[in-house]
Amino acid sequence: MRPGTRLRVARLGPADVVRLGGTGLRTRPLRVFLSALGIAIGVAAMIAVVGISGSGQAEVDRRLDALGTNLLRVAPGQSLGGEQARLPFEAVPMIRRVPPVRQVAATGTTSAHVYRNEHIAVGRTGSLDVLAAERNLLPAVGGRVRVGRWLDAATEKYPAVVLGARAAQRLDVYTPGTRLWIGGHWFSLIGVLDPVPLVPELDSSALVGWPAARTYLRFDGHPSLVYVRTQDSQVASVRAVLPATAYPEKPGEVRVSRPSDALAAREATESALTGLLLGLGGVALLVGGVGVGNTMVISVLERRPEIGLRRALGATRGQIRTQFVTESLLLSLVGGLGGTLLGTLITAGYAADRGWPTVVPAWASAAGIGSTLLIGVLAGLYPAVRASRLSPTEALSRAG
């Protein structure tokens, strides 16, 4: 070296910094694995919560698209005397006259109960209702037959019955042709329905034809619920005129609701639960960050000889800080990537088990990895500053 030449500090390139930080991780694989596992669990929890919630919402949207949000439910409310009101006989044909209305179908409540045979105790009803049903009910509410067939022009006049999904499960009856004891008469099972998401009251009901209910079950003919399908663009306007249309004399005794609102409310409830679970995932991620910080502090204490030697060979304090911050970032990044993959697999497995579409928002993955990098910087900053403040002589003297 020529006299008077100033020494220049060698600069570490990005590849050198990453290689140097990775060397520190490779020398302590078990500790690195456990620290990264803490980060991965927190990220996986957050990704899985967001993914499962997103998949559930996608399923709700898919079902609403299939079932439609244009179904309205007309039911009797309370009379001025506090008693249960009744819809008039003419409610269904009057509603059918409204121009935007596409389909109208009704059910009527009977006093009968359904049993597997005549020897079952009268009080053991299993909370199952027997409803009179119009034969156009199933297409109006978007229902489907799982086994057998639905009521038609012939079977609605005779003692034939169709069971809802939950009713069939409670009675343990699924085979068409099975006889059921209803209202003191034998009825023949002709079909079992799939669950009807928009009209869950049908799931726990035994459905008989409207004429058969009047003949065999002393049904009075008053509709208890009327289901109305209307044009998508006219739902609000039809909803406004339905009370006066269904019961012109007493429109205040008519309640109109939209079943799809219940699904939307359930989706909002699940969103609130998602927020709570995200908080728990954030706590787990914070605990993982504390683990990374603890690992880095111990790493600084154990690697004093290395720090002293590097400082003696000319490494600057900034290079020492960069080395340990990079090591902390790499450790957190490994946990973040592993947690993102694990959370995605959990979401996919759960969604596949429930028959849902798998949805993992890109922002959730980006937020998971981004939060781990932030935690890596924060967790590695103090140990890095502490390491950079060690003088070469102090570090080497404590090595022994």
Q: Is the separation of the CB atoms in 134 and 79 below 8 Å?
A: no
- What does DSSP assign to residue 157? G
Relative to beta strand 185-193, strand 114-115 is unpaired
What pLDDT score was predicted for residue 285? 65
- Distance from first CA to last CA of the chain, Å, rounded? 34
Compute the distance between CA of residue 323 and CA of residue 333 in angstroms, rounded to an integer. Answer: 15
Q: Which residues pair with 78 in a beta bridge?
A: 84
Q: Is the dihedral of CA 321, 326, 329, 330 positive or negative?
A: negative
Token pair for 198: 């928009």
C-alpha to C-alpha distances, 197 to 66, 165, 215, nearest whole angstrom? 11, 11, 30
Residue 290 CA, chain-centre distance (Å), reads: 31
Q: Which of 97, 95, 77 is nearest to 85 (CA)?
A: 77
Q: Is the separation of the CB atoms in 399 and 305 below 8 Å?
A: yes
Mean pLDDT (10-residue bins), the chain, 400 residues = 54 69 73 79 80 77 68 84 82 92 93 86 77 93 92 94 95 93 94 90 95 94 92 85 90 83 54 59 68 71 71 75 81 86 90 86 81 79 75 61
Residue type at position 255: R
Compute the distance between CA of residue 229 and CA of residue 237 in angstroms, rounded to an integer. Answer: 13
Q: Is the pTM above the cut of 0.75?
A: no
What pLDDT score was predicted for residue 54? 77
- Tokens 């605990």 belong to residue: 287
3-state secondary structure of 384: helix
What pLDDT score was predicted for residue 1? 47
What pLDDT score was predicted for residue 260? 62
What pLDDT score was predicted for residue 22? 72
Where in the chain are the domains?
14-64+264-397, 70-258
What pLDDT score was predicted for residue 267? 52
Residue type at position 249: E
